[in-house]
Chain A
Amino acid sequence: MDFSVIGNNLSYFLLGAWPNGPLGGAALTVILSAISAIASGVLGFVLGVALAMTQGVTHRVLLGCLAFFRAIPVIMLIFWTYFLLPILFDLNVPGTGTVVVALSLIGGAYLAHSVYAGIRSLPPGQWQAGAALGMRRWQILRLVILPQALPIMVPSFINQWIALIKDTSLAYVIGVGELSFVATQVSNREMVFPTEIFLFVGGLYFTFCASLEWLANTAARRYTGRPSLS
Protein backbone atom coordinates (compact mmCIF):
# COMPACT_ATOMS: atom_id res chain seq x y z
CA MET A 1 0.00 0.00 0.00
CA ASP A 2 1.34 3.37 -0.98
CA PHE A 3 -0.92 6.27 -0.14
CA SER A 4 1.40 8.97 -1.55
CA VAL A 5 -0.78 8.91 -4.67
CA ILE A 6 -3.57 10.37 -2.53
CA GLY A 7 -1.41 13.20 -1.20
CA ASN A 8 -0.15 14.05 -4.69
CA ASN A 9 -3.66 14.38 -6.06
CA LEU A 10 -5.44 15.56 -2.91
CA SER A 11 -6.68 18.90 -4.24
CA TYR A 12 -7.87 17.19 -7.42
CA PHE A 13 -9.84 14.65 -5.36
CA LEU A 14 -11.38 17.36 -3.20
CA LEU A 15 -11.91 20.25 -5.63
CA GLY A 16 -11.34 18.94 -9.16
CA ALA A 17 -9.57 21.38 -11.49
CA TRP A 18 -10.72 24.39 -9.45
CA PRO A 19 -9.64 27.27 -9.30
CA ASN A 20 -8.14 26.87 -12.80
CA GLY A 21 -11.12 24.96 -14.14
CA PRO A 22 -14.60 23.82 -13.18
CA LEU A 23 -15.24 22.72 -9.61
CA GLY A 24 -15.25 18.94 -9.23
CA GLY A 25 -14.37 16.07 -6.92
CA ALA A 26 -15.74 15.82 -3.40
CA ALA A 27 -16.87 19.46 -3.41
CA LEU A 28 -19.08 18.83 -6.46
CA THR A 29 -20.45 15.68 -4.82
CA VAL A 30 -21.44 17.73 -1.76
CA ILE A 31 -23.05 20.45 -3.91
CA LEU A 32 -24.94 17.93 -6.08
CA SER A 33 -26.15 16.15 -2.94
CA ALA A 34 -27.22 19.36 -1.21
CA ILE A 35 -29.21 20.72 -4.17
CA SER A 36 -30.86 17.36 -4.89
CA ALA A 37 -31.59 16.87 -1.19
CA ILE A 38 -33.47 20.17 -0.99
CA ALA A 39 -35.28 19.64 -4.30
CA SER A 40 -36.25 16.04 -3.47
CA GLY A 41 -37.37 17.11 0.00
CA VAL A 42 -39.67 19.83 -1.36
CA LEU A 43 -40.96 17.57 -4.15
CA GLY A 44 -41.52 14.66 -1.76
CA PHE A 45 -43.36 16.87 0.71
CA VAL A 46 -45.65 18.40 -1.91
CA LEU A 47 -46.40 15.03 -3.56
CA GLY A 48 -46.90 13.30 -0.21
CA VAL A 49 -49.42 15.92 0.90
CA ALA A 50 -51.07 15.63 -2.53
CA LEU A 51 -51.35 11.85 -2.02
CA ALA A 52 -52.97 12.40 1.37
CA MET A 53 -55.43 15.04 0.13
CA THR A 54 -56.55 13.43 -3.14
CA GLN A 55 -58.93 10.57 -3.78
CA GLY A 56 -60.13 8.43 -6.65
CA VAL A 57 -58.63 8.84 -10.11
CA THR A 58 -56.20 11.67 -9.27
CA HIS A 59 -54.86 9.66 -6.36
CA ARG A 60 -54.35 6.57 -8.50
CA VAL A 61 -52.68 8.48 -11.35
CA LEU A 62 -50.32 10.06 -8.83
CA LEU A 63 -49.52 6.65 -7.32
CA GLY A 64 -48.84 5.28 -10.80
CA CYS A 65 -46.40 8.08 -11.65
CA LEU A 66 -44.55 7.60 -8.36
CA ALA A 67 -44.43 3.83 -8.94
CA PHE A 68 -42.73 4.45 -12.29
CA PHE A 69 -39.91 6.45 -10.71
CA ARG A 70 -39.49 3.88 -7.96
CA ALA A 71 -39.37 0.97 -10.41
CA ILE A 72 -36.59 2.08 -12.74
CA PRO A 73 -32.87 2.16 -11.92
CA VAL A 74 -31.33 5.58 -11.29
CA ILE A 75 -29.03 5.05 -14.26
CA MET A 76 -31.98 4.62 -16.62
CA LEU A 77 -33.55 7.84 -15.33
CA ILE A 78 -30.26 9.69 -15.81
CA PHE A 79 -30.19 8.41 -19.41
CA TRP A 80 -33.76 9.60 -19.92
CA THR A 81 -33.20 13.08 -18.49
CA TYR A 82 -29.94 13.37 -20.41
CA PHE A 83 -31.83 12.61 -23.61
CA LEU A 84 -35.20 14.28 -22.96
CA LEU A 85 -34.33 17.52 -21.14
CA PRO A 86 -32.67 19.18 -24.16
CA ILE A 87 -35.63 18.14 -26.38
CA LEU A 88 -38.30 19.28 -23.92
CA PHE A 89 -36.75 22.64 -23.07
CA ASP A 90 -34.85 23.18 -26.28
CA LEU A 91 -31.66 24.21 -24.54
CA ASN A 92 -28.34 22.70 -23.64
CA VAL A 93 -28.61 21.32 -20.11
CA PRO A 94 -25.25 20.72 -18.44
CA GLY A 95 -24.54 17.26 -17.00
CA THR A 96 -24.79 18.52 -13.43
CA GLY A 97 -28.32 19.82 -14.10
CA THR A 98 -29.32 16.49 -15.61
CA VAL A 99 -28.13 14.61 -12.54
CA VAL A 100 -29.86 16.99 -10.12
CA VAL A 101 -33.16 16.61 -12.00
CA ALA A 102 -32.92 12.79 -12.08
CA LEU A 103 -31.94 12.44 -8.42
CA SER A 104 -34.60 14.91 -7.26
CA LEU A 105 -37.31 13.01 -9.13
CA ILE A 106 -36.29 9.63 -7.70
CA GLY A 107 -35.73 10.98 -4.18
CA GLY A 108 -39.00 12.91 -4.37
CA ALA A 109 -40.91 9.76 -5.42
CA TYR A 110 -39.56 7.80 -2.44
CA LEU A 111 -40.06 10.66 0.02
CA ALA A 112 -43.65 11.24 -1.16
CA HIS A 113 -44.47 7.79 0.18
CA SER A 114 -42.73 8.50 3.49
CA VAL A 115 -44.68 11.74 3.89
CA TYR A 116 -47.91 9.99 2.93
CA ALA A 117 -47.22 7.16 5.39
CA GLY A 118 -46.38 9.70 8.11
CA ILE A 119 -49.68 11.52 7.60
CA ARG A 120 -51.64 8.26 7.50
CA SER A 121 -49.96 6.97 10.66
CA LEU A 122 -52.01 9.41 12.74
CA PRO A 123 -55.34 8.10 14.04
CA PRO A 124 -58.39 9.24 12.01
CA GLY A 125 -59.79 10.71 15.22
CA GLN A 126 -57.38 13.62 14.74
CA TRP A 127 -59.10 14.55 11.46
CA GLN A 128 -62.53 14.08 12.99
CA ALA A 129 -61.70 16.17 16.04
CA GLY A 130 -60.46 18.97 13.79
CA ALA A 131 -63.62 18.77 11.69
CA ALA A 132 -65.73 18.86 14.85
CA LEU A 133 -64.02 22.13 15.77
CA GLY A 134 -65.18 23.54 12.44
CA MET A 135 -61.81 23.47 10.67
CA ARG A 136 -61.50 22.96 6.93
CA ARG A 137 -59.43 20.00 5.60
CA TRP A 138 -56.39 22.12 4.76
CA GLN A 139 -56.55 23.83 8.14
CA ILE A 140 -56.63 20.44 9.89
CA LEU A 141 -53.66 19.34 7.81
CA ARG A 142 -51.66 22.46 8.60
CA LEU A 143 -52.56 22.94 12.27
CA VAL A 144 -53.24 19.43 13.57
CA ILE A 145 -51.78 16.74 11.33
CA LEU A 146 -48.45 18.07 10.03
CA PRO A 147 -47.07 19.27 13.38
CA GLN A 148 -47.45 15.69 14.63
CA ALA A 149 -46.51 13.90 11.41
CA LEU A 150 -43.38 15.87 10.47
CA PRO A 151 -41.21 14.63 13.38
CA ILE A 152 -42.11 11.04 12.48
CA MET A 153 -40.82 11.63 8.94
CA VAL A 154 -37.42 13.06 9.89
CA PRO A 155 -35.54 9.72 9.95
CA SER A 156 -36.87 8.63 6.56
CA PHE A 157 -35.87 11.98 5.06
CA ILE A 158 -32.33 11.58 6.34
CA ASN A 159 -32.13 7.96 5.19
CA GLN A 160 -33.29 9.01 1.74
CA TRP A 161 -30.60 11.69 1.66
CA ILE A 162 -27.97 9.08 2.49
CA ALA A 163 -29.14 7.06 -0.52
CA LEU A 164 -28.98 10.29 -2.51
CA ILE A 165 -25.33 10.97 -1.65
CA LYS A 166 -24.49 7.46 -2.82
CA ASP A 167 -26.49 7.95 -6.00
CA THR A 168 -24.59 11.11 -6.97
CA SER A 169 -21.77 8.72 -7.88
CA LEU A 170 -23.90 7.72 -10.88
CA ALA A 171 -23.22 11.13 -12.42
CA TYR A 172 -20.10 9.26 -13.53
CA VAL A 173 -22.01 7.62 -16.39
CA ILE A 174 -22.62 10.95 -18.15
CA GLY A 175 -19.16 12.29 -17.40
CA VAL A 176 -19.87 14.77 -14.59
CA GLY A 177 -16.58 15.36 -12.76
CA GLU A 178 -17.73 14.46 -9.24
CA LEU A 179 -15.81 12.29 -6.77
CA SER A 180 -16.15 8.86 -8.43
CA PHE A 181 -15.43 10.27 -11.87
CA VAL A 182 -12.33 12.04 -10.58
CA ALA A 183 -11.27 8.81 -8.86
CA THR A 184 -11.39 6.82 -12.11
CA GLN A 185 -9.55 9.65 -13.89
CA VAL A 186 -6.69 9.59 -11.38
CA SER A 187 -6.71 5.79 -11.37
CA ASN A 188 -6.41 5.67 -15.16
CA ARG A 189 -3.68 8.30 -15.19
CA GLU A 190 -1.54 6.76 -12.45
CA MET A 191 -2.22 3.15 -13.50
CA VAL A 192 -0.60 1.56 -10.44
CA PHE A 193 -2.53 2.43 -7.27
CA PRO A 194 -6.21 1.60 -7.89
CA THR A 195 -6.65 -0.06 -4.47
CA GLU A 196 -5.45 2.97 -2.52
CA ILE A 197 -7.49 5.40 -4.63
CA PHE A 198 -10.79 3.57 -4.30
CA LEU A 199 -10.26 2.91 -0.58
CA PHE A 200 -9.68 6.63 -0.04
CA VAL A 201 -12.68 7.67 -2.13
CA GLY A 202 -14.85 5.05 -0.40
CA GLY A 203 -13.66 6.48 2.91
CA LEU A 204 -14.73 9.99 1.88
CA TYR A 205 -18.22 8.79 0.93
CA PHE A 206 -18.36 6.80 4.16
CA THR A 207 -17.60 9.94 6.18
CA PHE A 208 -20.44 11.83 4.49
CA CYS A 209 -23.00 9.02 4.78
CA ALA A 210 -22.07 7.70 8.22
CA SER A 211 -22.33 11.14 9.81
CA LEU A 212 -25.78 11.55 8.27
CA GLU A 213 -26.72 8.06 9.48
CA TRP A 214 -25.63 8.99 12.98
CA LEU A 215 -27.84 12.06 12.69
CA ALA A 216 -30.75 9.87 11.52
CA ASN A 217 -30.36 7.56 14.52
CA THR A 218 -30.14 10.47 16.92
CA ALA A 219 -33.23 12.01 15.37
CA ALA A 220 -35.07 8.69 15.51
CA ARG A 221 -34.25 8.25 19.20
CA ARG A 222 -35.32 11.78 19.94
CA TYR A 223 -38.60 11.79 17.99
CA THR A 224 -39.86 8.24 18.33
CA GLY A 225 -38.08 6.99 21.41
CA ARG A 226 -36.27 4.17 19.61
CA PRO A 227 -33.40 3.90 17.15
CA SER A 228 -34.29 3.51 13.48
CA LEU A 229 -34.03 0.01 12.10
CA SER A 230 -32.36 0.95 8.86
Chain B
Amino acid sequence: MEIYSPLFGELLAPKYLNWLIQGFAVTLVVSALSCLVATGLGFVLCLGRIARSRLIAWPVRSYLSLFRNTPLLVQLFFWYFGASALLPDTLRDWLNTPHGWDLMLFGLRWPPFEYIAGFVGLTLYTSAFIAEEFRAGVRGVPVGQVDAAAALGMNRLQIWCHIVMPQAVRIALPPLLGQYMNAIKNSSMTMAIGLAELSYASRQVETETFKTFQAFGIATLLYIAVIIVIELLGHRFQVRQLALRPGR
Protein backbone atom coordinates (compact mmCIF):
# COMPACT_ATOMS: atom_id res chain seq x y z
CA MET B 1 0.00 0.00 0.00
CA GLU B 2 1.59 3.16 -1.21
CA ILE B 3 -0.32 5.46 1.16
CA TYR B 4 0.76 3.80 4.39
CA SER B 5 4.50 3.91 3.82
CA PRO B 6 4.83 7.63 4.67
CA LEU B 7 2.79 6.94 7.80
CA PHE B 8 5.31 4.65 9.43
CA GLY B 9 8.42 5.56 7.47
CA GLU B 10 11.78 6.39 9.01
CA LEU B 11 12.39 9.53 11.00
CA LEU B 12 12.78 12.95 9.44
CA ALA B 13 16.17 14.00 8.11
CA PRO B 14 18.08 16.39 10.42
CA LYS B 15 17.47 19.24 7.98
CA TYR B 16 13.71 18.97 8.41
CA LEU B 17 13.91 18.47 12.15
CA ASN B 18 15.88 21.69 12.17
CA TRP B 19 13.07 23.49 10.34
CA LEU B 20 10.60 22.33 12.96
CA ILE B 21 12.85 23.40 15.83
CA GLN B 22 13.38 26.80 14.26
CA GLY B 23 9.63 27.14 13.77
CA PHE B 24 9.13 26.20 17.40
CA ALA B 25 11.63 28.88 18.46
CA VAL B 26 9.75 31.47 16.39
CA THR B 27 6.45 30.39 17.97
CA LEU B 28 7.94 30.76 21.46
CA VAL B 29 9.59 34.12 20.84
CA VAL B 30 6.59 35.69 19.07
CA SER B 31 4.14 34.39 21.71
CA ALA B 32 6.34 35.46 24.62
CA LEU B 33 6.84 38.98 23.26
CA SER B 34 3.12 39.28 22.47
CA CYS B 35 2.11 38.06 25.93
CA LEU B 36 4.51 40.46 27.61
CA VAL B 37 3.26 43.54 25.76
CA ALA B 38 -0.36 42.36 25.80
CA THR B 39 -0.26 42.01 29.60
CA GLY B 40 0.84 45.63 30.01
CA LEU B 41 -1.63 46.86 27.41
CA GLY B 42 -4.40 44.70 28.87
CA PHE B 43 -3.78 46.17 32.31
CA VAL B 44 -4.05 49.72 30.97
CA LEU B 45 -7.19 48.78 29.01
CA CYS B 46 -8.70 47.30 32.16
CA LEU B 47 -8.08 50.59 33.99
CA GLY B 48 -9.77 52.42 31.11
CA ARG B 49 -12.68 49.99 31.05
CA ILE B 50 -13.51 50.51 34.73
CA ALA B 51 -12.82 54.28 34.64
CA ARG B 52 -15.69 56.43 35.87
CA SER B 53 -15.36 58.82 32.94
CA ARG B 54 -17.46 57.65 30.00
CA LEU B 55 -15.12 59.52 27.69
CA ILE B 56 -12.49 56.90 28.56
CA ALA B 57 -14.67 53.87 29.28
CA TRP B 58 -16.67 53.88 26.04
CA PRO B 59 -13.79 53.94 23.54
CA VAL B 60 -12.11 51.16 25.52
CA ARG B 61 -15.36 49.19 25.52
CA SER B 62 -15.59 49.45 21.74
CA TYR B 63 -11.95 48.41 21.39
CA LEU B 64 -12.52 45.32 23.53
CA SER B 65 -15.73 44.41 21.72
CA LEU B 66 -14.19 44.90 18.26
CA PHE B 67 -11.04 42.91 18.92
CA ARG B 68 -12.78 40.09 20.77
CA ASN B 69 -15.58 39.65 18.25
CA THR B 70 -13.61 39.39 15.02
CA PRO B 71 -11.43 36.44 14.00
CA LEU B 72 -7.71 36.84 14.63
CA LEU B 73 -7.12 35.64 11.06
CA VAL B 74 -9.04 38.59 9.61
CA GLN B 75 -7.24 40.96 11.99
CA LEU B 76 -3.90 39.58 10.81
CA PHE B 77 -4.92 40.04 7.16
CA PHE B 78 -5.93 43.58 8.03
CA TRP B 79 -2.58 44.41 9.62
CA TYR B 80 -0.60 42.64 6.91
CA PHE B 81 -2.43 43.76 3.78
CA GLY B 82 -4.73 46.56 4.89
CA ALA B 83 -2.72 48.59 7.36
CA SER B 84 0.38 48.65 5.19
CA ALA B 85 -1.70 50.31 2.49
CA LEU B 86 -2.70 53.01 4.99
CA LEU B 87 0.81 53.79 6.19
CA PRO B 88 2.68 56.73 4.65
CA ASP B 89 5.08 55.57 1.92
CA THR B 90 8.24 56.57 3.75
CA LEU B 91 7.30 54.65 6.89
CA ARG B 92 6.29 51.60 4.86
CA ASP B 93 9.57 51.60 2.98
CA TRP B 94 11.44 51.95 6.25
CA LEU B 95 9.55 49.02 7.76
CA ASN B 96 10.16 46.87 4.70
CA THR B 97 13.88 47.52 4.38
CA PRO B 98 16.14 45.55 6.68
CA HIS B 99 17.93 47.48 9.40
CA GLY B 100 20.59 46.21 11.70
CA TRP B 101 21.98 47.20 15.04
CA ASP B 102 25.04 45.73 16.61
CA LEU B 103 24.58 45.45 20.33
CA MET B 104 27.92 44.23 21.58
CA LEU B 105 27.81 40.50 20.90
CA PHE B 106 24.34 40.25 19.45
CA GLY B 107 23.52 41.52 16.01
CA LEU B 108 19.90 42.67 16.05
CA ARG B 109 18.16 42.41 12.71
CA TRP B 110 14.96 44.20 11.80
CA PRO B 111 12.37 41.45 11.21
CA PRO B 112 10.48 41.13 7.90
CA PHE B 113 7.09 42.83 7.71
CA GLU B 114 5.06 39.65 8.37
CA TYR B 115 6.73 39.40 11.77
CA ILE B 116 5.70 42.96 12.65
CA ALA B 117 2.14 42.45 11.43
CA GLY B 118 1.91 39.08 13.19
CA PHE B 119 3.25 40.50 16.44
CA VAL B 120 0.95 43.54 16.33
CA GLY B 121 -2.11 41.43 15.47
CA LEU B 122 -1.49 38.79 18.12
CA THR B 123 -0.66 41.40 20.79
CA LEU B 124 -3.74 43.57 20.23
CA TYR B 125 -6.03 40.52 20.08
CA THR B 126 -4.57 38.98 23.26
CA SER B 127 -4.62 42.31 25.13
CA ALA B 128 -8.40 42.55 24.71
CA PHE B 129 -8.86 39.15 26.38
CA ILE B 130 -6.31 39.91 29.11
CA ALA B 131 -8.08 43.20 29.93
CA GLU B 132 -11.29 41.28 30.61
CA GLU B 133 -9.43 38.80 32.84
CA PHE B 134 -8.02 41.68 34.88
CA ARG B 135 -11.48 43.22 35.10
CA ALA B 136 -12.90 39.94 36.36
CA GLY B 137 -10.10 39.97 38.94
CA VAL B 138 -11.04 43.47 40.10
CA ARG B 139 -14.69 42.43 40.37
CA GLY B 140 -13.62 39.42 42.40
CA VAL B 141 -12.36 41.64 45.22
CA PRO B 142 -15.15 41.92 47.81
CA VAL B 143 -16.69 45.40 48.16
CA GLY B 144 -16.20 45.15 51.92
CA GLN B 145 -12.43 45.37 51.37
CA VAL B 146 -12.81 48.78 49.73
CA ASP B 147 -15.21 49.97 52.44
CA ALA B 148 -12.86 48.78 55.17
CA ALA B 149 -9.91 50.58 53.58
CA ALA B 150 -11.99 53.76 53.23
CA ALA B 151 -12.97 53.46 56.89
CA LEU B 152 -9.28 53.35 57.74
CA GLY B 153 -8.91 56.72 56.02
CA MET B 154 -7.17 55.60 52.82
CA ASN B 155 -7.72 57.69 49.72
CA ARG B 156 -8.81 56.20 46.40
CA LEU B 157 -5.30 55.82 45.04
CA GLN B 158 -4.11 54.09 48.20
CA ILE B 159 -7.10 51.76 48.19
CA TRP B 160 -6.42 50.89 44.58
CA CYS B 161 -2.69 50.29 44.99
CA HIS B 162 -2.62 48.55 48.38
CA ILE B 163 -5.97 46.78 48.62
CA VAL B 164 -7.67 46.14 45.27
CA MET B 165 -4.82 45.61 42.82
CA PRO B 166 -2.76 43.02 44.72
CA GLN B 167 -5.84 40.88 45.28
CA ALA B 168 -7.18 41.39 41.76
CA VAL B 169 -3.90 40.32 40.16
CA ARG B 170 -3.81 37.21 42.33
CA ILE B 171 -7.36 36.29 41.31
CA ALA B 172 -6.62 36.99 37.64
CA LEU B 173 -3.45 34.93 37.48
CA PRO B 174 -4.85 31.47 36.67
CA PRO B 175 -7.11 32.74 33.84
CA LEU B 176 -4.20 34.89 32.68
CA LEU B 177 -2.11 31.75 32.22
CA GLY B 178 -5.02 30.37 30.20
CA GLN B 179 -4.80 33.42 27.94
CA TYR B 180 -1.06 32.86 27.52
CA MET B 181 -1.82 29.30 26.38
CA ASN B 182 -4.37 30.70 23.95
CA ALA B 183 -1.78 33.15 22.64
CA ILE B 184 0.63 30.29 21.92
CA LYS B 185 -2.09 28.35 20.12
CA ASN B 186 -3.29 31.47 18.31
CA SER B 187 0.23 32.26 17.11
CA SER B 188 -0.31 29.36 14.68
CA MET B 189 -2.66 31.60 12.70
CA THR B 190 0.22 33.87 11.72
CA MET B 191 1.22 31.15 9.24
CA ALA B 192 -1.52 32.56 7.01
CA ILE B 193 0.52 35.75 6.50
CA GLY B 194 3.70 33.76 5.95
CA LEU B 195 5.30 33.91 9.38
CA ALA B 196 7.51 30.82 9.58
CA GLU B 197 6.38 29.52 12.97
CA LEU B 198 5.75 25.91 14.01
CA SER B 199 2.54 25.19 12.05
CA TYR B 200 4.02 26.81 8.96
CA ALA B 201 7.19 24.74 9.36
CA SER B 202 5.24 21.50 9.83
CA ARG B 203 3.28 22.13 6.65
CA GLN B 204 6.50 23.04 4.84
CA VAL B 205 8.16 19.80 5.97
CA GLU B 206 5.06 17.84 5.01
CA THR B 207 4.98 19.16 1.44
CA GLU B 208 8.71 18.48 0.97
CA THR B 209 8.98 15.05 2.55
CA PHE B 210 5.40 13.65 2.36
CA LYS B 211 6.01 12.36 5.88
CA THR B 212 2.75 13.81 7.11
CA PHE B 213 2.56 11.76 10.25
CA GLN B 214 5.99 12.77 11.53
CA ALA B 215 5.74 16.43 10.52
CA PHE B 216 2.37 17.05 12.16
CA GLY B 217 3.13 14.66 15.01
CA ILE B 218 6.28 16.45 16.11
CA ALA B 219 4.63 19.86 15.84
CA THR B 220 1.63 18.64 17.85
CA LEU B 221 3.88 17.20 20.55
CA LEU B 222 5.81 20.47 20.80
CA TYR B 223 2.58 22.46 21.26
CA ILE B 224 1.38 20.02 23.91
CA ALA B 225 4.75 20.25 25.69
CA VAL B 226 4.53 24.05 26.07
CA ILE B 227 0.93 23.87 27.26
CA ILE B 228 1.90 21.25 29.87
CA VAL B 229 4.82 23.39 31.10
CA ILE B 230 2.52 26.41 31.58
CA GLU B 231 -0.08 24.19 33.23
CA LEU B 232 2.55 22.91 35.71
CA LEU B 233 3.72 26.46 36.46
CA GLY B 234 0.13 27.47 37.19
CA HIS B 235 -0.34 24.44 39.40
CA ARG B 236 2.80 25.22 41.41
CA PHE B 237 1.64 28.78 41.86
CA GLN B 238 -1.76 27.66 43.12
CA VAL B 239 -0.23 25.22 45.58
CA ARG B 240 1.97 28.00 46.96
CA GLN B 241 -1.04 30.32 47.20
CA LEU B 242 -2.99 27.79 49.23
CA ALA B 243 -0.01 27.33 51.54
CA LEU B 244 0.32 31.11 52.02
CA ARG B 245 -3.33 31.68 52.78
CA PRO B 246 -3.70 32.58 56.46
CA GLY B 247 -5.76 30.40 58.75
CA ARG B 248 -5.04 27.12 56.97
A18 within 8 A of B: no
- Segment of A121-129, A139-147, A205-213 engaged in the interface with chain B: A205-213
Q: B77 contacts which chain A residues (CB < 8 A)? A: 180, 183-184, 187, 194, 198
Which chain B residues numbered 181 to 228 have a C-beta less than 8 Å away from chain A? 181, 185-186, 188-189, 191-192, 199, 202-203, 206, 212-213, 216, 219-220, 223-224, 227-228
Known contacts being A74-B185, A172-B192, is A205 close to B220, with CB within 8 Å?
no
User: A162 to chain B: which residues have CB within 8 Å?
Assistant: 69
B69: chain A residues within 8 A (beta carbon)? 162, 166, 205-206, 209-210, 213
The reply to whether A73 and B3 form a contact with Cβ atoms under 8 Å apart is no
Task: Flag if B70 contacts A209 (CB, 8 Å).
Answer: yes
B139 near A75 with CB under 8 A, answer: no
- Min C-beta distance of A33 to chain B, whole Å: 11
CB pair B78 A198 closer than 8 Å: yes
Q: Is the CB of A73 within 8 A of B223?
A: yes
Contact of B186 among A73, A172, A205 (CB under 8 A): A73
Would B71 and A166 count as touching, CB distance under 8 A?
yes
- Rounded to whole Å, the gap between the CB of A73 and the closest CB of chain B is 4
Complex CA–CA separation, A210 to B62 (angstroms)? 11
Other 9 A-B pairs with CB < 8 A, given A79-B216, A172-B73, A205-B70: A68-B224, A71-B185, A71-B224, A75-B189, A166-B69, A194-B77, A195-B86, A202-B75, A205-B74
Complex contacts, A80 vs chain B, CB 8 Å: 216, 220
Give the Cβ gap from B86 to chain A, nearest Cβ, in Å: 6
Contact with B along A200-230 (1 / 0, CB 8 A): 0110011001100100000000000000011
For the complex formed, measure the closest distance between the CB of B89 and the CB atoms of chain A, giving whole angstroms.
15
Instruction: Say whether A132 faces chain B, with CB atoms less than 8 Å apart.
Output: no
**Residue from the list B70, B203, B206, B223 in contact with A202, Cβ < 8 A:** B70
Q: Which residues of A contact B86 (CB under 8 A)?
A: 195
Q: Which of B82, B202, B203 contacts A194 (CB 8 A)?
A: B82
Q: Which residue of A lies closest to B226 (CB)?
A: A71
Is B132 in contact with A230, judged by CB distance below 8 angstroms?
A: yes
User: Do A205 and B82 touch (CB < 8 A)?
Assistant: no
Query: B82 touching A198 by the CB < 8 A rule?
Result: yes
Bound Cα distance from A142 to B71, whole angstroms? 37
B3 CB contact (under 8 Å) in A87, A195, A199: A87
A6 to chain B, nearest CB (A): 13
Q: 21 A-B contacts, Cβ less than 8 Å apart?
A: A72-B223, A73-B185, A73-B186, A73-B189, A75-B188, A75-B191, A76-B188, A83-B213, A87-B7, A165-B71, A170-B189, A183-B77, A184-B77, A194-B81, A195-B83, A195-B86, A202-B66, A202-B70, A209-B68, A209-B70, A213-B65
The CA of A170 and the CA of B185, in the complex, are separated in Å by 13
B234 to chain A, nearest CB (A): 14
- B interface footprint on A55-93 (CB within 8 Å = 1, 0 otherwise): 000000000000010011111100110010001000000
CA distance A83 to B203 in the complex (A): 11
Please report the C-alpha to C-alpha distance between residue A230 and residue B182 in the assembled complex, in whole angstroms. Answer: 15
Q: Which of A72, A168, A173, A180 has the most CB of B within 10 A?
A: A72
